[in-house]
Amino acid sequence: MKVVSVILARGGSKGIPRKNIINLDGHPLIWYTINASQKSEVHETWISTDNDEIAKIATDSGALVLRRPPNLATDTSQSEESLLHFADNVDFDILVFIQPTSPLLCHYHINQGLDMMDNHSSVFSAYKEHWQPRWNKENILGIEVSHPLEWNPNQRPRRQDVEETYVENGAFYITTRESLLKSKLRYSGNTGILEMTQQESFQIDTYNDLELIKKLL
């Protein structure tokens, strides 16, 4: 079984310009997930990109590069489109889709996810969340009105009585070629969850995130 990973890293970024290669503790951001993949049981680590600078950093880091067409690297492009483009151009049996904004992802997380594929058709990483009373707000005729989300204030549950849930952290998704081509989704069928801690699940989207992550590395 050939296992490969792909990191989707386009050049454009709205929140942080050049985010995927911004310096983080002496390394480009994408280096961390490349390193995690290369230390794992993955056979090949690929970068799918439309950007020359990202491609060079990937090659210098020992990764393979698939050039992505511009129409698959826009602000509105879906990751699944790029995954299918990757499947059309690279041979694999199992695909590990890694997002470059998760620098605390470690090789053993990937290996644990791959082990789960013995009993699942797909696996994704997530963290466990305890129940919290959530609300939303809406404007009705100029008046701001708040509503509880999926719970009744008249029957407020105790936190320990509510089942814990899992939140996708976006660090990685694992699927088979067959499942990807059939469903055209990053996961499908009998899907397993690889639990990571909330700290390990940290994602970089803003400059504040960058400052916080420096304290965790």
Instruction: Confirm whether 158 is a catalytic residue.
Output: no
- pTM (2 decimals)? 0.89
More confident residue, 71 or 34: 34
Q: Write out pLDDT tens, residues 69-88.
A: 988 888 888 999 999 999 99
pLDDT for res 141: 84
Pairwise pLDDT comparison (200 vs 217), residue with the higher score: 200
Neighbours of 199 (CB within 10 A): 9
Q: Is 168 helix (H, G, I), strand (E, B) or coil?
A: strand
Strand partners, 135: 148
Please indicate whether residue 135 or residue 110 has the higher confidence score (pLDDT).
Answer: 110
Average pLDDT over residues 35-40: 98
Judged against a pLDDT cut of 90, whether residue 217 lies above it is answered with no
Confidence of residue 180 (pLDDT cuts 50, 70, 90): very high
Give the domain ranges of the chain.
Answer: 3-128+166-214
Query: Taking the mean position of all CA atoms in its chain, how far away is CA 175?
Result: 13
* Model pLDDT, residue 29: 96
Query: Which of 134, 156, 158, 186 is the catalytic position?
Result: 156
Average pLDDT over residues 59-75: 91
Q: What is the CATH number of domain 3-128+166-214?
A: 3.90.550.10
29-39 and 107-116 helices, crossing angle to 10°: 50
H or E, element range at 127: strand 122-129
Residue the block writes with tokens 């483009």? 85
Enumerate helices (H) and strands (E) in the chain, giving the number of each: 6, 11
Which of the pair, 162 or 5, is modelled with greater confidence?
5
